[in-house]
Amino acid sequence: MERIILIITLLIAVSTGIQAQDSLDSLMNRDLDEVVVTAQRKYTKSTARGLKVSMSGNPLSKIGSATDAIMQMPLIDGSAGFISVLGKGTPVIYINGRKMMNSSELSNLKSSDLASVEIVTNPSAEYGSDVSAVILIKTKQPLAGLYISGKGRVQASEEWSESAGASLQYHNENGLTVFGDISYAWDGFKQKRHYAELFGEVSNVDKFFTTLSDETAKKRSQSLTVDGGLNYDFGKNSVGLKYIFSRTPKSRFGSVGYTSTDALSINGITSATSLNAQSFDHYINAFGDFKLPLSIGLRMDLDYMSGNNVSCWDALENETERNIMNNNRSRHDYFGSKLRINRNFGNIEVEAGAEYAHTKNDQYFTSQGLSNTFLTSASDIVRQNLQAYYVSFDYDISPKWNIYGGIRYETTDSRYEKDDIHDNNLSRRYHDILPNLGIQFKSPVNLTMYYRAKVSRPSYSLLDNNFAYVTPTLWETGNPELVASRTHNVGISLYFRNFVFLGTYIRSEKPIGSIYQYDAGLKANIRTNVNLPDYDTWQLVASQGFNVRFWHPTVQGVLLLQNLKYGNPMRKYDKPFYQLSLNNRFDLPAGIYAYLSAFYLGTGNTSTTYSRGTWQMALTLSKSYRNWTFTLSANDIFGTWKQRFDTYSNSVEYKSDIKGASQYVSLSVRYSINAAKGKYKGKAVREDEMNRL
């Protein structure tokens, strides 16, 4: 059954008070309201670490939300429904210097509020050790007055979804901004899933089994987010405080399936699973940004986050009469602080900083329904202290040459307790030195060569050794023995007019990958994550834009080659992986812009996973008229998108096909007065540590 979603959004804004003089960006946008722009890439220019897109007069400023605008930019892949940088993955996003804590912040931000968007593909030493890409968003200057907005959405598909939100903000000419937001959502989706498992004992070819599972899955969840705070700008200085409360009062996931297998005494099994979960988080951020004597810049950030997660999971097999029930409760705490100073010495900009982060994850797990020892009650407590110090520089040697670099030192002390007993084997300390260095040539071709080291620590969910039921012969669990992985990146980037090329050699040390193992005693497969052997990857990314009168196409592609070998028996994971996309903008009469995109996810290996390929098309129509913006979108127009991935490891061959939650039609209508809002300028200290929770 095709999935059709209808989304209707209405944004109403009312403003009173003193109106400040229009900024240059506002005047340019007003003059170009009904002008057809025939060039696309004149808004884009290269930087030493990526590219920057100006939004002044850019047709993307009329598309509706900031999310929609960024998804149409060069080097961006939005095929999965969220923003990803080609060849780099999910970026860290900053809005006016503050780390974005929730994707709703970006979807609520209007594209016409944006001043510029910078896509950084080679982040500096300032950012976390596991950050591969950064998007820096700057908004227009705020106007004085009171800003009130309301937003509602209804979504129709196999499942109904609704959401609503409201915002209030006051900004005066003395630099004070007070703001508050509240949003509520009730979302749902359905999917059809097919799993195929071929597994057995390597030493006995007669003991190989096959399991085929088909199921229908459905999810419904509620979410609530409330935030409030203030900024105060005085001279060249700023201070601020922000509080965010986020809660999932109810989340229900259920599936009904049928499994045929020759590995168990009963060949046909009908099953039903359910997961009920609740969670909440309190987050506080405070910041100070000061201009000291001798032109020294000083930035301070403080974070605190505390939250709780509760889940109850139940699986029932009718024919075997197995009923497995798991309960999990966890509490996490985080504290972070960061200090940064910077100063220019002629053509050299120098920056230095220090960070501290403390995380604690306290978990209690109970299980009943099986006598197997791998489902036992347990408690885990993991505490980690992290310190980081960094220094970086940017030196304009001449108008055509620039050199930049830096070094980051991180030390972590992680302590692991199981059932209140300290575990020396799982408690670890790390000391990492992460250098980066680049040189740039700037005219007329922008050419950059660089080296960057990166470290990624496993999330607490990957370290969790609790077991979760998937099919009668498949379970999933974490691995507390995982250690941090490290990568060395040597890259070259080339920007010339509308052409972008990124080439990267990556050496991965102890990379974390997903694998399957057969347990003969349990007569089941176990999916987990392990540290894979070291291997090499070569990655090529290219983007070419064209301008043909009213038609502005952009062709993008990624090619990835790797030489990974793993498993018993040993397997090669070296099939070339590629993906292609074609983004088109059409400047239609009456100031209407049409965006038609086609995306193909090709075949090949990424880590231990093999993609069998899929494709989809999307269409967006956008029209601005005075204070109104209308956006009509359709995703996965022909219902062709499927998640088709295989993982062959050890003596297990696992295939999955998932379809659903990709096809929708949406209509957004926005009306605004005094839409340029002031933004909170604080930012998270260690967003990677919070994500691990």
Cβ-contact 48, 404 below 8 angstroms: yes
pLDDT at 23 over 50: no
- The 3-class SS string of 72-128 reads CCCCEECCCCCCEECCCECCEEEECCEECCCCHHHHHCEHHHEEEEEEECCCCCCCC
Task: Please tell me the number of Cα atoms within 13 Å of 376 on its side-chain side.
Answer: 8
Q: Which of 126-135, 198-207, 564-573 has the lowest mean pLDDT?
A: 198-207
Q: Which of 172-186, 299-313, 355-369, 620-634 has the lowest mean pLDDT?
A: 620-634
Cβ-contact 181, 107 below 8 angstroms: no
Strands (E), 172-207: 176-200
Distance CA 655, CA 195 (A): 6
pLDDT at 105: 73
Buried b (16+ CB within 10 A) or exposed e, 71-102: bbbbbbbbbeeebbbbbbeebbbbbbbbbbbe
Order the strands of the 474-477 sheet from edge to edge. Answer: 467-471, 474-477, 524-531, 512-519
Average pLDDT of the residues of the chain? 84
Residue recorded with tokens 């405080």 = 241
Average pLDDT over residues 506-513: 96
Average pLDDT over residues 407-434: 89
Average pLDDT over residues 297-312: 94
pLDDT at 165 over 60: yes
pLDDT at 30: 28
Q: Find all residues with CB under 8 Å of 504, minimum gap 6, and list them.
A: 87, 489, 490, 491, 492, 537, 538, 539, 541
Q: Which of 3-12, 262-271, 277-286, 373-382 has the lowest mean pLDDT?
A: 3-12
Q: How confident is the model at residue 182 (pLDDT cuts 50, 70, 90)?
A: confident
What is the model's pTM? Answer: 0.82
pLDDT at 687: 57
